[in-house]
Amino acid sequence: MGTALDIKIKRANKVYHAGEVLSGVVVISSKDSVQHQGVSLTMEGTVNLQLSAKSVGVFEAFYNSVKPIQIINSTIEMVKPGKFPSGKTEIPFEFPLHLKGNKVLYETYHGVFVNIQYTLRCDMKRSLLAKDLTKTCEFIVHSAKGKFTPSPVDFTITPETLQNVKERALLPKFLLRGHLNSTNCVITQPLTGELVVESSEAAIRSVELQLVRVETCGCAEGYARDATEIQNIQIADGDVCRGLSVPIYMVFPRLFTCPTLETTNFKVEFEVNIVVLLHPDHLITENFPLKLCRI
Amino acid sequence: MAVFPWHSRNRNYKAEFASCRLEAVPLEFGDYHPLKPITVTESKTKKVNRKGSTSSTSSSSSSSVVDPLSSVLDGTDPLSMFAATADPAALAAAMDSSRRKRDRDDNSVVGSDFEPWTNKRGEILARYTTTEKLSINLFMGSEKGKAGTATLAMSEKVRTRLEELDDFEEGSQKELLNLTQQDYVNRIEELNQSLKDAWASDQKVKALKIVIQCSKLLSDTSVIQFYPSKFVLITDILDTFGKLVYERIFSMCVDSRSVLPDHFSPENANDTAKETCLNWFFKIASIRELIPRFYVEASILKCNKFLSKTGISECLPRLTCMIRGIGDPLVSVYARAYLCRVGMEVAPHLKETLNKNFFDFLLTFKQIHGDTVQNQLVVQGVELPSYLPLYPPAMDWIFQCISYHAPEALLTEMMERCKKLGNNALLLNSVMSAFRAEFIATRSMDFIGMIKECDESGFPKHLLFRSLGLNLALADPPESDRLQILNEAWKVITKLKNPQKREVNTVLADVIKHMTPDRAFEDSYPQLQLIIKKVIAHFHDFSVLFSVEKFLPFLDMFQKESVRVEVCKCIMDAFIKHQQEPTKDPVILNALLHVCKTMHDSVNALTLEDEKRMLSYLINGFIKMVSFGRDFEQQLSFYVESRSMFCNLEPVLVQLIHSVNRLAMETRKVMKGNHSRKTAAFVRACVAYCFITIPSLAGIFTRLNLYLHSGQVALANQCLSQADAFFKAAISLVPEVPKMINIDGKMRPSESFLLEFLCNFFSTLLIVPDHPEHGVLFLVRELLNVIQDYTWEDNSDEKIRIYTCVLHLLSAMSQETYLYHIDKVDSNDSLYGGDSKFLAENNKLCETVMAQILEHLKTLAKDEALKRQSSLGLSFFNSILAHGDLRNNKLNQLSVNLWHLAQRHGCADTRTMVKTLEYIKKQSKQPDMTHLTELALRLPLQTRT
């Protein structure tokens, strides 16, 4: 019984903005004709929040999952109960992405404790004997354009500038200089900058950029704030040449980043750490909060 | 059986020739003729269409008169006809843009003078090898079953298995230790294959994983001597990957309607393709480690074309900067080499990146001598002099890319920058091997200065001088500097080449001086050979070459025979190529005879046929080039000397015989056919030379043909008895012809060759005058006896065909004047003057031959032979028709009988028969041939039922 249900969104990259019309086709393909009790299409956008075990305790986290916040939800009936002929049937659809009231269409984001996701679900109801068919398909929402003002940062890292050091005397001497072109970043453009190893007694093993998400969920008991790594990009491998600038360059991964978001219930923020590993076993980290936006 | 008398027809050759010749028609201007020179007359409509078509061939190829293809379409090909109906403005715009693009690309595409990477590849693989054990550390879940089990030790197996269990989800870490180089290469090849497999089975993620893991291997510098080869192997995989990705995305752009042109712009790519392309880039951008991220991105650089026009030009500088993050100088220089390579392939017009790479490299150059590298070398137990040579492949490549079509100013700047850096032997070397030879040559003094200042410890100086020398061999340094260059270089080492006689002599002398003690030359044949090759390449005038005093002593250093012969071959090859005019220079002759003798003496029983042929070809080339002008005797004595020298090479002997024959004919030409007593004696000497040389040859047909040929030459020179001797020798050789002969290693029946030779022989025999002491036609009789006794193949009609030819010969002989003559030689026609006795003898011979033919025809009456009988009968019929006098009743009757015989069993080809009959009817219209009308009436055509 090869009846297949598929949703094809018109745009290849599946990206839509608030106010636009999401369009596409539902494709039903079957060798034989298909009897059905109606086909409906649901568009849904939700924010899923989850508390981390670290901040509220294991059990709490398990039971006390915060209720998902619904951003958008609408269903349309595409086809009344009836019969599809054999072969391929394409049914076009259109959903306007309009919100009621003062709700905001947040940008799609896949995190650990915060998930913002938009889906299209197509259901075909069928008679008792045959199973209902369902197909879900994610589409991506990009939020409205924000403002961007560049904010360059220069930094210098020496043993003296470090906090949180146990035995400062044991540290080898080093001097790193660098700058980030902006800590306010456009999400579609890479994070750029430069890093110069002016001097270092110890050989350098590696320099890495660690992109970190900081998710904050509000709940009855208060706030839970967790920082987790999204990705780690090595920008220098081995003992790099002294005095020669090494480019800092990182592309923000899609889906796992979104413009910095702050709402009453949750927050999504980003930071970048410059991590320098020295021989034999020293780890130096410098942290920069980022503000992402979309223009 | 009745004996049929033969009556040959009287022929008037002149009249026949006149009647047979085609009428010559003068060619009117404008008429079509395939051999007429081409004139260009291009019509206007054609021109317009030309622009649209992709080929931009010039109009010279279009011929004046209608091209059969385009004429059908009235000058418009179907494609452009459709195009013409489309909107002309849009069309013009499209054409314009495409042309502009093509124009732009023309100056950006790498020309054929750019040495491609593939040339370097093999060299690197062969040069950088190791005997140490290697290891591959791969991290992926896939080919569990496939691990090279045979090579793994037990403990290894356990370890692999445990790790597989550990990381069942993610994939398994596999560390293969103790691999030999060959194992390593095999493993990489396996990976390359599994990459292709994964791609083919649509496992794109797995393919990417493989590529990432492979490029990760490039960050591993253990067993550093092997690094360059490793680079080559792994970049092969990257190339494969890059190609796969590009082709896949490209194929997505191709929909049913149109195919994307080679030079497409991003707007032409559809959204799906772009999205896929973006996905790849995002995926790669999130690769954790620097080196794999760099290599994988570089490998799919070309895909930027789908996204934006400026993509590549933005990516290249970024990737260049990215390399700065690679700490190990060796790893980084190879990364640069890869980037340059990809850059040159994808966007050769973007020179900036190349330069940037170079300058960045200079900035990090000091790292090579830094502590980190030194420590690493100590750990691996590698000395600096063997570490530094790991750099040149990558550096040479980068430098080559930069210097390709680079302006002088840039090169000068680069050189200045290199100069500023201390300890720059390595740089110098690469500069010299990559930059244009002319550039180096004009600055050779500077270079020598720099070389002198170099620190000997890191990079051996002789290598530097070698690179310099290679350049100087390609381009001349300024005249004034030459001696100084030589002196300077000489102080260091003896490796400089320089195309002046005196210098070369000095160089050779010095090399000899250095190489002779302790027979040092035995170890350096390849280098010495190289020297010879360079010298030969520059001396096209061989008299100068051999007047270089030390050249022959230099040759004497090649004492190993195989090498010696190789060198001799080179010399002869160059001689044949460059010597334009025949020579009699005693220096050249002496030296080359010596060289040829060396080659000839290397021939022994074990020498391959091919080798012999090669040597013969070279020696023949030499012999043909020797000419003493009018001094024919000297020439002959040279040939005599050559014969004694090259007696083992048959083709050379054959050449000598031909040369001597030519000499004889030339003498005749000089004397205008009237030999004086002296020249007659000389010609006889030539003939004698041939006569005694031919029997030493092995090939039977070579001998036969040479006998015939030499006989003809002797005849032409009025050496009648000598000619007789040649022909007799040929006749007596015929019975020795074997039934099968070896041609190109295959056994073939010899009959067809024999037939060919005999026919040729017959036509010569026509004009050979009879010897007064022998009987009439003694040569023909003797030959007939031989043919009679020769054991012919069963079931073959060759003998009869030959007899038919003999019949032709005999009828030609019974004419009053023969078809052709040799100047100053009286043939039988004038000797006998149509004497009736001679004619009777002749006819008697004909009768015998005819009897033989008829006898044979009778034996062919059996079923399977009927077809042969029919065709032989017809051919005999034709012979009678052409040569026989059909007014004779018996002959007439015979021909009618033959006609019936040919048709009797329905084996004859009706069309041939019809044509023959038509011919007869046509002939009968001629005045003295009326009797043929009657004959034609007696020849019925058999209708097939």
Which of B291, B363, B371 lies closest to A237 in CB terms? B291
Which of A204, A232, A249 lies closest to B322 in CB terms? A249
Q: In this model, does residue B84 exceed pLDDT 70?
A: no
Q: Is the peptide bond before A280 cis (omega within 30 degrees of 0)?
A: yes
Q: For residue range B293-310, list pLDDT tens digits in order.
A: 999 999 988 888 888 888
Range of A253-257, B303-307, B472-476 with top mean pLDDT: A253-257
Q: Does A290 touch chain B (CB under 8 A)?
A: no
Q: Does B286 touch chain A (CB under 8 A)?
A: yes
How does residue B151 score in pLDDT terms, banded at 50, 70 and 90?
Answer: very low
* B453/chain A closest Cα distance in angstroms: 26
How does residue B501 score in pLDDT terms, banded at 50, 70 and 90?
Answer: low
Packing angle of the helix pair B351-364, B311-323 (nearest 10 deg): 10
* A234/chain B closest Cα distance in angstroms: 5
Q: For residue range B351-381, list pLDDT tens digits in order.
A: 788 888 888 888 887 777 777 888 888 888 8
* Residues on chain A touching B311 (C-beta within 8 angstroms): none
Can you give the pLDDT at residue B3? Answer: 65
Q: Does B162 touch chain A (CB under 8 A)?
A: no
Can you give the pLDDT at residue B708? Answer: 92
* Residues on chain A touching B293 (C-beta within 8 angstroms): 233-234
pTM equals 0.56
A-contacting residues in B 781-810 (Cβ below 8 Å): none
* B189/chain A closest Cα distance in angstroms: 27
A-contacting residues in B 351-370 (Cβ below 8 Å): 360, 363-364, 366-367, 370
Is A237 close to B322, i.e. CB distance below 8 A? no
Provide the H-helix boundaries in chain A: 53-56, 58-63
Are the C-beta atoms of residues B233 and B220 closer than 8 Å to each other? no
- Give the residue from chain B lying closest to A231, CA to CA: B286
* A218/chain B closest Cα distance in angstroms: 31
* B467/chain A closest Cα distance in angstroms: 30
* Residues on chain A touching B219 (C-beta within 8 angstroms): 237-238
Q: For residue range B403-439, list pLDDT tens digits in order.
A: 777 777 777 777 777 777 765 677 777 777 777 777 7
- Give the residue from chain A lying closest to B278, CA to CA: A13
Packing angle of the helix pair B501-515, B525-538 (nearest 10 deg): 170
Mean pLDDT of the residues in chain B: 76
Q: In this model, does residue B146 exceed pLDDT 90?
A: no
Is B326 close to A236, i.e. CB distance below 8 A? yes
Are the C-beta atoms of residues A81 and A37 closer than 8 Å to each other? yes
Around Cβ A176, how many Cβ atoms within 10 Å?
A: 21
ipTM value: 0.89
Count Cβ atoms within 10 A of the Cβ of residue B463 and give its class: 0-12 exposed, 13-18 middle, 19 or more buried: buried
* Residues on chain B touching A238 (C-beta within 8 angstroms): 219, 326-328, 331, 372
Q: Does A13 touch chain B (CB under 8 A)?
A: yes
* Residues on chain B touching A193 (C-beta within 8 angstroms): none
Can you give the pLDDT at residue B184? Answer: 81
Q: Does A202 touch chain B (CB under 8 A)?
A: no
Percentage of residues in chain B having pLDDT higher than 70: 76
Q: Does B331 touch chain A (CB under 8 A)?
A: yes
The whole-angstrom separation of Cα B681 and Cα B190 is 78
A-contacting residues in B 218-277 (Cβ below 8 Å): 219, 270-272, 274-275
Q: Does B307 touch chain A (CB under 8 A)?
A: no
Can you give the pLDDT at residue A248? Answer: 92
* B492/chain A closest Cα distance in angstroms: 35
Q: In this model, does residue A17 exceed pLDDT 80?
A: yes
Q: For residue range B606-627, list pLDDT tens digits in order.
A: 888 888 888 899 999 888 888 8
* Residues on chain B touching A240 (C-beta within 8 angstroms): 324-327
Tokens of B847: 């009768």
- β B746-749/B740-743 pair status: antiparallel
User: How does DSSP assign chain A, residue by residue?
Assistant: ---EEEEEESSTT-EEETTSEEEEEEEEEESS-EEES-EEEEEEEEEEE---HHHH-HHHHHH-PPPPEEEEEEEEEEE-SEEEPSEEEEEEEEEE---STT---PPPEE-SSEEEEEEEEEEE---TTSPPEEEEEEEEEEPPP-------EEEEE-GGG--S-S-GGGSPPEEEEEEES-SEEETTS-EEEEEEEEEESSPEEEEEEEEEEEEEEEETTEEEEEEEEEEEEEEEESSPPTT-EEEEEEPPPTTT--S-EE-SSEEEEEEEEEEEEETTTEEEEEEEEEEEE--
Q: In this model, does residue B466 exceed pLDDT 70?
A: no
Around Cβ A119, how many Cβ atoms within 10 Å?
A: 14
Beta-sheet strand order (sheet of A4-9): A4-9, A21-30, A87-96
Is B289 close to A237, i.e. CB distance below 8 A? yes
The whole-angstrom separation of Cα B3 and Cα B707 is 36
* Residues on chain A touching B321 (C-beta within 8 angstroms): 246-247, 249
From B842, B935, B847, B839, select the one nearest B889 (Cα to Cα): B935
Which of A12, A231, A236 lies closest to B290 in CB terms? A236
Q: Does B735 touch chain A (CB under 8 A)?
A: no
Can you give the pLDDT at residue B80? Answer: 42
- β B134-140/A282-293 pair status: unpaired
Is B288 close to A249, i.e. CB distance below 8 A? no
- Give the residue from chain A lying closest to B330, CA to CA: A238
Q: Does A245 touch chain B (CB under 8 A)?
A: yes
Are the C-beta atoms of residues B883 and B811 closer than 8 Å to each other? yes
* Residues on chain B touching A237 (C-beta within 8 angstroms): 219, 289-291, 325-328
Which of A13, A204, A241 lies closest to B364 in CB terms? A241
Q: In this model, does residue A220 exceed pLDDT 60?
A: no
Q: Does A231 touch chain B (CB under 8 A)?
A: yes
The whole-angstrom separation of Cα B640 and Cα B663 is 13
